[in-house]
């Protein structure tokens, strides 16, 4: 994908792993996911709802908990 056949991996602190130049990703269960963009983010926190891709759940959990602790749900407001 990078044109020169180079595949690289970049680890993001507290977040996913960026993978450049791959053609496919084989998940835990053997499913083959074709790579459709120049860089993909692979989940490292195992909380993603869209494995093997990062869906930013690595942040959401902390936020969700904080939200629940100090604010009622919107549905409770009416």
Residues lying near ligand FES in the complex (CB under 6 A): 15-16, 43-45, 47-48, 54-58
Find the binding residues for other proteins in span 46-65 (CB under 8 A).
Answer: 49-50, 53-56, 59-60, 62-64
Q: Pick from other proteins, ligand FES, none: which does 45 bind, CB < 5 to 8 A by kind?
A: ligand FES
If DSSP states are collapsed to H, E and C, what string results for the chain?
A: CCCCCCCEEEECCCCCEEEECCCEEECCCCCEEECCCCEEEECCCCCCCCCCECCCHHHHHHHHHHHHHHCCCHHHCC
**Pattern 5-44, binding to other proteins, x per CB under 8 A?**
-----x-xxxxx-x-----------------xxxxxx---
Report d(CA 2, CA 24) in Å as an integer: 13
Nearer to other proteins, 10 or 31 (CB): 10
């Amino acid at each position: 994908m990078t044109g020169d056949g180079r595949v690289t991996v970049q680890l993001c602190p507290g977040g996913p792993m960026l993978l450049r130049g791959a053609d496919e990703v084989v998940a835990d269960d053997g499913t083959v996911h074709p790579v459709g963009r120049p860089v993909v983010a692979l989940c490292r926190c195992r909380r993603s709802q869209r494995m093997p891709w990062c869906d930013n759940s690595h942040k959401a959990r902390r936020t969700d908990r904080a939200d629940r602790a100090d604010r009622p749900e919107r549905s409770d407001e009416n």
